[in-house]
Every structure is written in C-alpha cells, then in structure tokens.
Amino acid sequence: MKNVLLIGCNGQMGKVVQEAITNHPNVQLVAGFDRLAKNDSPFPIYQDLAAIKESIDVVIDFSHHSMTKNTLSYCIEQKLPVVIATTGLSDEILQAIKDAAKKIPVFYSANMSLGVNALIQALQKIAPILEEDFQIEIIEKHHRFKKDAPSGTALLLADSINAVLDQPKEYIYGRSGNENENAMSEIGIHAVRGGSIPGEHTVLFAGEDEIIELKHTALSRGIFANGAIKAALFIEKQKTGFFSMNELLKGK
C-alpha cells in the first residue's frame, strides 16, 4: 500500500481522485494540500507544504499551474516522486519540470487518460501516411468552466502529429473568413466550451472525397483519476528522470 499526498485535493479533479484512491487496493490517501480548507475530510489537509508530517511515498498534483513550481520544490526537498497532472503549463514551467527530473522521478502528461495516449500512438502511425494529401483539423470540446483554450490535450495531439511529419505544420487557432489557401500546411485547432462536457477530442483528416476521423470521448473524469493512480504506482518505482505515458504504456 503506497501513501499518497494529493495536491489540489478539494478541486473538481481532486475530489474525483479522492474517490478513485478510496476504491483502489494499492494506494491510500494520507494527506492533502489545498488553498481551500475543509474540516470534514477523513485525512489531514494542509495549506503549507512544509507542515506535512505524514510519511509520503508519492505525490499527485492536480492543482493549478501556479502551484507547480512549489510542488516541484517540495518534492525535491523531500526526495519524493511526483505525478504532475496539471494543465495549461507555460514553457517556463515545463522547463522547471524537466530540471526537477534531474533530481527526482517526475511523471508528466497533458492528459492522464490511457485512451488518449493510445490515440496518440495511432495518430503517429497514420499521420505520415496521409501527410501530403489530407488536411488536419483538431476539434476539442470541454465544460464551460475549463480555464484554458485550446486544451493541453489538443496541443499534445498536434505536437504528437507534427513530431512525425516530414514537414511540420503551423498551428491555426480557429478559422474565419476565406483565407484557407495554406490549410494543407496548417493544423487547425478549434475549442468549444459549454455545459458539463468532461472532454472530447476529434482529429479530422480531410482529403479529396474521403474523410478519416479519430475521436476520444471522456464519459467521466474518473478516467483521468485512474490514469494518475497508474502513473503514481509506476513513478514510485523509478529512479531519477522524466517519464510520460509513453513509458507507462510500454510497460503494460
């Protein structure tokens, strides 16, 4: 049984992770961190990382990108492996994650769903075949409270496609008017916000007289929580370094 510290425990995803950990046989939630205090929790919730007294095996951070550097500093100081599941990270924070990985085991993915990461592997096989003859568009849909647009997953899909193309494409965020002459050299990325959509990503390959769509739909946030737990159990066994879903899937 591995002891987990959950950062961002009172947020939307934090609550889902709490439930997933409660129902998991190999992990237990021994402490949480959140800027919002909550007195009826079955585990202690701290507002100061330095005050945490419990024995921790692995940290899961599902908070806000403004917290990520503090999480990394704490984990380095305590020599703890960490799963960063926060989205909307800047290049500066991504670099801080890579720097931290020189000192501790760090797991990061813009999307913790195993299905999304299997989709990425499929896209990387398909995209080079279709590169010359098909236009690529990515459409992502999320609930109206999501703070970043386009989603980190949409950008992850685009980056994964671009990484395997002979000629990387420029990203265009939304399309308006009639200026689509360069569409074959672009990846269009479109964000929709509304209702309570947990997450939906469609990659569209549009050719002459034929269309290919690859789509992932999250039916609940539980898939991200379960993925984070799998990542925590994986990273807890690793030595210093940077790890992603690629490594986790290879180990399955």
Alpha carbons 62 and 85: distance in angstroms, whole number: 5
- How high is the pLDDT of residue 181? 74
Look up 146 and say whether it is catalytic. Answer: yes
Q: Which fold has domain 2-112+221-250?
A: Rossmann fold (3.40.50)
User: pTM of the full predicted structure?
Assistant: 0.83
- Binding site residue list for (S)-2,3,4,5-tetrahydrodipicolinate: 143, 152-153
- For residue 102, give the 3-state DSSP assignment: coil
- Binding site residue list for NADP(+): 38
In the predicted structure, residue 28 carries a pLDDT above the cut 60? yes
For 87-119, b/e burial (b = at least 16 CB within 10 A) is bbbeeebeebbeebbeebbbbbbbbbbbebbeb
What's the pLDDT tens digit per position in 59-103? 999 998 999 999 999 999 999 999 999 887 889 999 999 999 999
Alpha carbons 100 and 111: distance in angstroms, whole number: 20
Task: Give the chain's mean pLDDT.
Answer: 93
Catalytic residue among 24, 146, 169, 216: 146
- For residue 92, give the 3-state DSSP assignment: helix
- Binding site residue list: 8-13, 38, 85-87, 109-112, 143, 152-153
Residues whose CB is less than 8 angstroms from the CB of residue 195 and which lie 6 or more positions away in sequence, other chains included: 143, 144
Domain layout of the chain by residue ranges: 2-112+221-250, 114-218
Look up 142 and say whether it is catalytic. Answer: yes
Catalytic residue among 142, 201, 216, 230: 142
What's the pLDDT tens digit per position in 4-22? 999 999 988 999 999 999 9
What's the pLDDT tens digit per position in 139-169? 999 999 888 889 989 999 999 999 999 999 9
Which amino acid belongs to residue 171? Y
- Binding site residue list for NAD(+): 8-13, 85-87, 109-112
Domain 114-218 has CATH 2.60.120.10: no
Q: Which two tokens stand for residue 207?
A: 């050719």
